[in-house]
Amino acid sequence: MDWSLKASARWTSETSMRWIASVGACTMSEGVRAYSNGSTMTTVREDDAAAKQRAMTRATYSCAFPGETMSGEQCALMRASASGIEWMKQREAIWNEALVSLYGLLRVRQCYAFYVVYRERTVLFCAPGVGGVEDGGYAVVTQSNAKFRRALTDAAVVFTSADAEAAAIDQAKKDYSRTWRPEDEARGGLLDELEGGGASRAMDNTEVTAQLAKMDAPNAARRKAADTIICRGAIAVHGLLSVLMEASGADPGSLDGGPQDVPLLLAPVPFAHSSLKPLSLKIQSNNAVIRQEARDTARTLQVFPPTSTAAAMRATYTAETARNELIPPWTLARVCAALTLNHEEYSLSCTSVPHTCGLNVGVLAARNMSEQSSRREVELIRERDYYDDADTFRIAAAPQLESSIITRAEYVNKTYYVS
């Protein structure tokens, strides 16, 4: 599963998608109830159009708080009056209650993951078994800065960088800045490898400084991993939750002193004070140039380029979301699964919210750090409502694209091709 949130998504098919928009009131109601009750998607007959529409309706829903977020300007206007300040305090108190509710559902395994979406970063809380991590729950924070890390350190919350190389460089910088002592001889690590031995720490080695600076160059891949941190285990995750609650909805790492609204809480299940958040799809039809890409049908769910292309003008149908959405992975996956009920072939193109792109890095790093000793966590996920076998497989699997994010996918001959 790609754990990044998507800002927009567009599904394209040569078969009409009007069936998605022509949902009757009763079918819509049944689909919403299927989502809120945690009903799994059962086998759908080929001629049962209403069941297909129910499955699509169920797929498009998530739960969120607040239902509508406020801009900085709106928050400033609210805080300009005494009544507005009191209203904002109540909103922050309700947000804390909603966060506690979600965390409680996570602890009792009624929710496998949820997001706390700030303006500059995102926090992903995961239950044991999610992403292939079987030795405990964990949380991933993207785009952490010095202020956010200092808040965790002050609260005695243990966290780890998702980039082992970045952590080694940071430790080498600390070691090099400290006065060398004979007992440091046996410390080892990256600094010794650069210097060729611990004894040379007593000398002024400008070459080591230059090497460390070069290794710490902030290219895109390294920066994404270095800024992503992981809190592993119940104590660390609970500590992170406490830091977020003490901030009363404010971003603990924000460098902007301006007024901000509480961050969005996004989950696959209902929680206290949450509202249903549907994904609206705009259905269109047009003529477009379609590139037919030859694929190796022996490979499934793999990332690889087409072997050949051919273009032709054909009528196409699209289902497209609005821009600047926050589309969670469970919604994206369920909509794709619902489309297979009525479409033998379709393609998906999507864009990701920039500050969520490091989530896959964190989930993958947490899996690499975990002890793969038991499959009990996967069985516990399967036993819960809301999760059918397809959901369980996606939840429990490590990110199949590793640290990469999905930007395009094609469904052909019951096989997904992802890039």
pLDDT in tens, 338-347: 899 889 899 9
Instruction: With beta carbons less than 8 A apart as the criterion, state whether 7 and 324 touch.
Output: yes
Of the chain, the percentage scoring pLDDT greater than 90 comes to 32
Angle formed at CA 327 by CA 29 and CA 116, multiple of 5 degrees: 105
Provide the pLDDT for residue 40. Answer: 67
- CA 240 to each of CA 113, 115, 156, 335, 380: distance values in angstroms, whole numbers, following the listed order: 15, 13, 10, 32, 24
Max avg pLDDT among 152-166, 272-286, 304-318: 272-286
Give yes or no for residue 95 having a pLDDT over 60. Answer: yes
More confidently predicted of 36 and 172 = 36
- Edge-to-edge order in the sheet of strand 275-278: 160-161, 229-232, 138-141, 122-126, 113-117, 264-267, 61-65, 275-278
Per domain, the residue ranges of the chain are: 6-42+280-355+379-418, 164-220
CA distance 192 to 175: 10
What does the pLDDT average to over 138-148? 91
CA distance 86 to 83: 5
Give yes or no for residue 203 having a pLDDT over 50. Answer: no
Helix (H) or strand (E) holding 320: strand 309-320
Give yes or no for residue 201 having a pLDDT over 60. Answer: no
In this prediction the pTM is 0.79
What does the pLDDT average to over 6-32? 89
More confidently predicted of 244 and 196 = 244
Task: For residue range 386-400, list pLDDT tens digits in order.
Answer: 666 777 778 877 776
Provide the pLDDT for residue 208. Answer: 60
In which band, very low, low, confident or very high, does the pLDDT at 419 lie, cut at 50, 70 and 90?
A: confident
Averaged confidence pLDDT in the chain = 79
More confidently predicted of 301 and 379 = 379
More confidently predicted of 26 and 184 = 26
Tokens 């998504």 belong to 9
What does the pLDDT average to over 372-396? 66
Provide the pLDDT for residue 50. Answer: 86
What does the pLDDT average to over 196-208? 51
Query: Around Cβ 311, how many Cβ atoms within 10 Å?
Result: 9
Give yes or no for residue 253 having a pLDDT over 80. Answer: yes
Provide the pLDDT for residue 224. Answer: 53
Give yes or no for residue 310 having a pLDDT over 70. Answer: no
Provide the pLDDT for residue 9. Answer: 94
Kindly report which listed range (43-57, 287-301, 333-347) carries the lowest average pLDDT score: 287-301
Kindly report which listed range (127-141, 213-227, 251-265) carries the lowest average pLDDT score: 213-227
In which band, very low, low, confident or very high, does the pLDDT at 83 lie, cut at 50, 70 and 90?
A: very high
| Helix 376-383 vs helix 389-396: crossing angle, to nearest 10 | 140
Give yes or no for residue 211 having a pLDDT over 80. Answer: no
What does the pLDDT average to over 355-380? 76
Give yes or no for residue 132 having a pLDDT over 60. Answer: yes
What does the pLDDT average to over 300-322? 66
Provide the pLDDT for residue 294. Answer: 54
Provide the pLDDT for residue 348. Answer: 93
What does the pLDDT average to over 360-373? 78
Task: For residue range 144-198, list pLDDT tens digits in order.
Answer: 888 999 999 999 999 988 876 555 556 666 666 665 555 555 555 544 555 444 4
CA distance 358 to 139: 12
Provide the pLDDT for residue 61. Answer: 92
More confidently predicted of 386 and 125 = 125
Residue environment code for 379-399, b if the CB has 16+ CB neighbours within 10 A, otherwise e:
eebbebebbeeebbebbbebb
